[in-house]
Chain A
Amino acid sequence: MSQSVVDVHDLSRSFGDKTALDGVSFRATAGQVHGLVGSNGAGKTTLLKHLLGLLRATIGSVRVFGLDPVRDPVGVLGRVGYLSEERELPEWMRIDELMRYTQAFHPTWDASYARELLETFALDPSRKIKELSKGMRAQAGLIAAVAHRPELLILDEPSSGLDAVVRRDILDAIVRAVADDGRTVIFSSHLLDEVERMSDHVTLMHQGRVTLSGVLDDVRGAYRRSRVRFVEHFDRPPALDTALVMEGSGRTWSVVHNGSIERFRHSVLARGGEIVESRDATLEEIFLARAGRSRPQVEAA
């Protein structure tokens, strides 16, 4: 088994009476691109802030490169690149000053890579951060995060503010290049298509808990969406083995299920129905099923 870059064990965190993280365990190894998916308030940013030492682990433990990021911020942050969701950068700085300032903290800074990215994004180094649009600010923050070629790149909602072209062509390329070098990327996103495109591992969070985590292909392979037709008319969704969410009415129902397809088929036959169509579920369908949401939301009985 490859060495852990990030190891979070049984981490819980509350803010007042709101539980942000509830017994979260999470592991990432070198070379992985790990997508964190979850609805608003699921605890993604709270988890990432723990990895950076911005929040201290009161219950549970966090280790990054085997170190506690709160006790050893220099040891951890020197090997990490981070792009925050708020894109918070000193507004009075110019872009070139931001680059030089960040460079001073990272001996591994690759000036030619930084220049190349500045040209790719068409950012003027003499412009002040406060004069930048939200997207340009995200681009500047991204360069500062990746130009020292960090061993771990943490991106909190990296697509926010970036246009479709930059998102698809440049962000994907940067993330892929980092992973190809054997380094690790952890990013959070609301955009499930982006997670499917960029990551090879996925962790699904809901209400402060990890509801699903694993290799993306394995996760997708474990869930199917099937359309079933019954002879009998059902006012409420019929109980079916391994079904997570059912949508529909009357005789035709659409079901997201996991586990053995044979077991599911037997269950459908036992209720006097048949599987009309079946395919791998998309990540969005899995996400909605695990988060307990669908349109209309109907839990399997």
Chain B
Amino acid sequence: MNRHSPVVAMLWENWRLTRVEAAQRLGLGIVGASAALVLSDNGAGIALWILLAVHWMFWLSISKLNGGRFLDGYKPGFPLYLLYTRPVPTATFVGVALAYDAISGAALYVVSALVVGAVFDQPLPLFSAALWIVASRLAYTCCQWSTQSRAVQWTTQAIIGLSLFLLLNGRMASPPLIEFSTIESVLMVLLGVVSVGLAIVGVARQRRGDGVATAPRAAGSTGYPDWLISLFRFPCPTSSATKAQVWFELKSSGLPVLTIGLAIAIVVFLLFAISIPIVPMRNAAVSGVMFFAPAMLLCLGGNAFGIRRRQGRTYASTFEATQPYGTAQLARLKVFVRSGCVLVALAMVGISVWASSSLLSAWGTWVVAEGKDTVPGLLRMRGRIGELFGGLTGQAFAAQISVALFAVAAMVASLATFAALRARYPRRVLVAAALLLLYGLVLVLLLSVGPNGITWLLLNAILWATPRIAVAALVTGTIYLTWRSFAERLLTLRAACGAILVSVACAAAAQMFRPTDAVGMLLPALLLFAISVLTPWSLGRIRHT
């Protein structure tokens, strides 16, 4: 293999695409594991889980090879079909991608574990964990790449993923050790080898049959799968631009969000119902409820501006950007439509969870750990929530609804702003994220030293200065953005007054539940106002680059 071999070129290509994500994961793993070791008594075990979680998942950024569409309703099967045109055997490009993905992930875990272990004098398992990561990543990729049947993809992945997780969980010992038997190790090696073979065979079949059919589309992804968007057919109103834009937002993302919310609500209820006769399903039902709502909030509330990704490039849609519609109005409309849909979706899930929890009494007993029945605890929690909502006056209930509405709108706006700024200023956002990670690392290291010496003084100084710097940055940033927005005609006096009124009203409504002093009320109001100014400004930055 010389310098010009396709294998070296493809390895270089993979490294080029994933190096930023690799640095992020390395930083995140080390900071997270260090924080766990410093802050928790059972820190070593948590640190190990954090490192495994960070390095278990395949490289998301490798999807840039094909337009960055792993999670955007891509055609199932081998996602990197642009590689079909390369004059190399299927085994080469599949093998290189698989090997790079698995080995680099395991190598990063080993580096993180060595660093954390050396700094905190806490040895963490190396070989066994690396073997598990390699086997997991290979098996996952094989399930996704080797077939175009979604059912087969997700079924095999669920079975193999669950088996590997249970194996890991069962072999985890204290102090953090992972002890696989020889047979288990051999089985994992075999799983990896078989996965590579199956992936190559499956991709070769797709390359022979579907190379042309899966040619990349001309435009970037719109976010939700086409079939989901096509579920709803209603004509676009032509009487006004705003109505047409609302139709566009509802069709392209709003109604798919509602549909997903409804589907999750139904699944949650079914899981609780099935759990009455099938006891092992209860874990899935409860953990599903615990993780679905926050994950759904983040996923469905994201990318309200419809930022597109294509070949690693992120950009706003030229089609939308060239419609004669004001940037500030467009930003507001996008955020409001998406927030409304997310809120309704959340309400559907909430009602489903509430209705499902009434089935808990039919579960009888449910022993999770240490021989304790968990059902009475869950029923008590249900009762407390019922009392909390039942005891609310009409006024308090309305205040709660409005706070929830603005909280969701603020979250949707923040996520949209972040996506726009990341697309417009990728390096600056990367540097800011790296600085935050570094800040976390410094705090963790200072905490690890303990309450003595100059480091403790330094830690106190940082903790004293941080909120003050944050507030000062918020105030100056808001003033600057307000001035820029007025200068760029993104903000009018009327809109600014409206934003201030709404922010203050929302902060005042929040006071009903958690009364604080004037500063405690002013800060959320200021934050909401800052978001309301920053959001249209960020859309303006990406619409007019």
Closest CB in chain A relative to B545 CB, distance in Å: 6
Interface residues of A in 46-89 (CB under 8 A from B): 52-56, 70-78, 80, 82, 84, 86-89
In the assembly, what is the distance between CA of A77 and CA of B489, in Å? 16
Stretch of B165-173, B320-328, B400-408 with 4 or more beta carbons under 8 angstroms from chain A: B320-328
State whether B323 touches A77 (Cβ < 8 A). Answer: yes
Closest CB in chain B relative to A60 CB, distance in Å: 15
- Is A97 engaged at the interface, CB distance under 8 Å to the other chain? yes
Q: Name the contact of B222 in the complex, choosing from A82, A86, A90, A100 (C-beta under 8 A).
A: A90
Closest CB in chain B relative to A66 CB, distance in Å: 16
A92-B545 contact in complex given A74-B326, A101-B248, A104-B241, C-beta closer than 8 Å: no
- Is A25 engaged at the interface, CB distance under 8 Å to the other chain? no
Contacts of B488 in A (CB 8 A): 70-71
Contacts of B543 in A (CB 8 A): 53-54, 73
A134-B218 contact in complex given A54-B318, A84-B318, C-beta closer than 8 Å: yes
A88-B324 contact in complex given A71-B488, A101-B244, A104-B241, C-beta closer than 8 Å: no
State whether A104 touches B322 (Cβ < 8 A). Answer: no
State whether B217 touches A88 (Cβ < 8 A). Answer: no
A105-B244 contact in complex given A86-B219, A100-B236, C-beta closer than 8 Å: yes
Contacts of B219 in A (CB 8 A): 86-91
State whether B229 touches A92 (Cβ < 8 A). Answer: yes
A104-B236 contact in complex given A54-B544, A91-B222, C-beta closer than 8 Å: yes
A106-B324 contact in complex given A71-B488, A72-B489, C-beta closer than 8 Å: yes
A91-B545 contact in complex given A100-B235, A100-B238, C-beta closer than 8 Å: no
B490, closest chain A residue (CB): A71
- Is A207 engaged at the interface, CB distance under 8 Å to the other chain? no
State whether A104 touches B218 (Cβ < 8 A). Answer: no
State whether B324 touches A73 (Cβ < 8 A). Answer: yes
State whether A104 touches B321 (Cβ < 8 A). Answer: no
State whether A104 touches B252 (Cβ < 8 A). Answer: no
Give the size range of A's interface with the partner.
Answer: 35 or more
State whether B243 touches A87 (Cβ < 8 A). Answer: no
Closest CB in chain A relative to B9 CB, distance in Å: 25
Contacts of B235 in A (CB 8 A): 97, 100
- B151-164 interface code vs A (CB 8 A; 1 in, 0 out): 00000000000000
- Mostly, the B contact residues are loop
In the assembly, what is the distance between CA of A103 and CA of B543, in Å? 21
In the assembly, what is the distance between CA of A80 and CA of B323, in Å? 9
A54-B322 contact in complex given A101-B247, A104-B240, A105-B244, C-beta closer than 8 Å: yes
Query: Which of B235, B252, B317, B325 is packed against the most chain A CB atoms within 10 Å?
Result: B325
A105-B544 contact in complex given A86-B219, A92-B252, A100-B238, C-beta closer than 8 Å: no
- Is B395 engaged at the interface, CB distance under 8 Å to the other chain? no
Query: Which of A86, A92, A130 is packed against the most chain B CB atoms within 10 Å?
Result: A92
A145, closest chain B residue (CB): B322
A70-B319 contact in complex given A77-B324, A91-B222, A104-B236, C-beta closer than 8 Å: no
A104-B229 contact in complex given A55-B544, A86-B218, C-beta closer than 8 Å: no
Closest CB in chain B relative to A167 CB, distance in Å: 19
Contacts of A201 in B (CB 8 A): none
In the assembly, what is the distance between CA of A109 and CA of B324, in Å? 13
Interface residues of B in 288-320 (CB under 8 A from A): 317-319
- Is B334 engaged at the interface, CB distance under 8 Å to the other chain? no
- Is B230 engaged at the interface, CB distance under 8 Å to the other chain? yes
In the assembly, what is the distance between CA of A102 and CA of B325, in Å? 11
- B224-267 interface code vs A (CB 8 A; 1 in, 0 out): 00100110000111111101100110011000000000000000
B225, closest chain A residue (CB): A92
Contacts of A77 in B (CB 8 A): 322-325
State whether B545 touches A54 (Cβ < 8 A). Answer: yes
In the assembly, what is the distance between CA of A100 and CA of B241, in Å? 10
Q: Name the contact of A105 in the complex, choosing from B220, B325, B327 (C-beta under 8 A).
A: B325
A71-B489 contact in complex given A88-B317, A92-B229, A100-B235, C-beta closer than 8 Å: yes
Interface residues of B in 189-245 (CB under 8 A from A): 217-220, 222, 226, 229-230, 235-241, 243-244
Closest CB in chain A relative to B324 CB, distance in Å: 4
State whether B545 touches A55 (Cβ < 8 A). Answer: yes
State whether B326 touches A73 (Cβ < 8 A). Answer: yes
A134, closest chain B residue (CB): B218
- Is A257 engaged at the interface, CB distance under 8 Å to the other chain? no
State whether B544 touches A137 (Cβ < 8 A). Answer: no
In the assembly, what is the distance between CA of A91 and CA of B324, in Å? 20
Closest CB in chain A relative to B477 CB, distance in Å: 21
Contacts of A86 in B (CB 8 A): 218-219, 318
Q: Name the contact of B544 in the complex, choosing from A56, A88, A89, A106 (C-beta under 8 A).
A: A56
Contacts of B244 in A (CB 8 A): 100-101, 104-105
In the assembly, what is the distance between CA of A54 and CA of B318, in Å? 8
Contacts of A101 in B (CB 8 A): 236, 244, 247-248
Contacts of A74 in B (CB 8 A): 324-326
A74, closest chain B residue (CB): B324
In the assembly, what is the distance between CA of A73 and CA of B317, in Å? 15
Contacts of A130 in B (CB 8 A): 217, 226
Closest CB in chain B relative to A134 CB, distance in Å: 7
In the assembly, what is the distance between CA of A102 and CA of B319, in Å? 10
Interface residues of B in 321-363 (CB under 8 A from A): 321-327
A104-B238 contact in complex given A56-B544, A71-B488, A137-B218, C-beta closer than 8 Å: yes
Contacts of A109 in B (CB 8 A): 238
State whether A70 touches B544 (Cβ < 8 A). Answer: yes
Q: Name the contact of B321 in the complex, choosing from A54, A56, A80, A105 (C-beta under 8 A).
A: A54
B243, closest chain A residue (CB): A104
Contacts of A137 in B (CB 8 A): 218
Closest CB in chain B relative to A193 CB, distance in Å: 26
Closest CB in chain A relative to B322 CB, distance in Å: 5
Closest CB in chain B relative to A146 CB, distance in Å: 14
Closest CB in chain A relative to B495 CB, distance in Å: 15
Contacts of B324 in A (CB 8 A): 73-78, 80, 105-106
B320, closest chain A residue (CB): A90
In the assembly, what is the distance between CA of A80 and CA of B324, in Å? 9
In the assembly, what is the distance between CA of A103 and CA of B326, in Å? 17
In the assembly, what is the distance between CA of A105 and CA of B236, in Å? 12
Closest CB in chain A relative to B225 CB, distance in Å: 9
Closest CB in chain B relative to A44 CB, distance in Å: 16
In the assembly, what is the distance between CA of A54 and CA of B237, in Å? 26
Closest CB in chain A relative to B235 CB, distance in Å: 7
Contacts of B236 in A (CB 8 A): 97, 100-101, 104
* A–B complex contacts, Cβ < 8 Å, 21 sampled: A53-B544, A55-B544, A70-B544, A74-B324, A74-B325, A80-B322, A80-B324, A86-B219, A90-B252, A90-B319, A92-B229, A97-B235, A101-B244, A104-B237, A104-B238, A104-B239, A104-B240, A104-B244, A105-B324, A109-B238, A130-B226
Cβ-closest 6 pairs across A and B? A104-B244, A78-B324, A77-B324, A100-B236, A92-B229, A70-B544
Q: A88-B220, A90-B319 are in contact. List 15 more A-B contacts (CB 8 A).
A: A54-B543, A56-B545, A73-B324, A82-B322, A86-B218, A88-B317, A89-B319, A90-B317, A91-B226, A100-B238, A101-B244, A104-B239, A104-B244, A105-B244, A106-B324
